[in-house]
Amino acid sequence: MTEPEAAPPPPPPPPPPSRRFPRLRGILLLALLTVVLAMGVYTWLSLHWDYSSGYRSGLLQKVSRKGWVCKTYEGELWQSVVANVAPDIWYFSVREPGVVQALDTLVGKQVRLHYTEHRGIPTTCFGDTRYFVDSVATLNP
C-alpha cells in the first residue's frame, strides 16, 4: 500500500509592511543624510572661502535691516568719480553687529569699507548680495 500524499505546507504569511523593505529604507535614509551633509559643507565653504577681497570708498547712503523671513543688514555706497557724472551705487551686506552699529552712525559721510566677495551662496538668508563688509573707516572726519 502506498501512503497518501501529504498536503504541501501553507506558504508563510507575508512580512508586516514595516519590515517589507528594510534595506531600501536604510539606503534612502543614507542618501538623504549624504545630500544634507553635502549641502551643509557647501554652504559652510561658500561662506568662509572668499572669492575676492578689497576696499571701496564713497558716501554711505543707506544701511537697513530687511527681508521677509531671514532679516539681514544691507547697505548702499554712493560712488562718484567726477561731478556731473551718474554715480555708481554699490550694494553690500553686513553680518557682524559691531560693523552694523559703526555704519549706522556714519550714514551720510565719506567712508572706506573693507569687503569680501563670496560667490555661490545657496540662499539669501546670509545676505542679499555677495559682498560682505567686515570693517569701516571714515575718510573725512
pTM attached to this predicted model: 0.73
Q: Which CATH class is domain 50-138?
A: mainly beta
Give the HSE-up count for residue 73: Cα atoms under 13 Å, Cβ half-sphere: 16
Q: pLDDT (tens digit, 0 to 9) for every residue of the chain, 141 residues total?
A: 566 677 888 888 876 666 566 788 888 999 999 999 999 999 999 988 989 999 999 999 999 999 888 899 999 999 987 777 888 999 999 999 999 999 999 999 999 999 999 998 888 888 899 999 999 999 875
Q: Where are the domains of the chain?
A: 18-47, 50-138
State how far the Cα of 94 lies from the Cα of 89, in Å rounded to an integer: 16
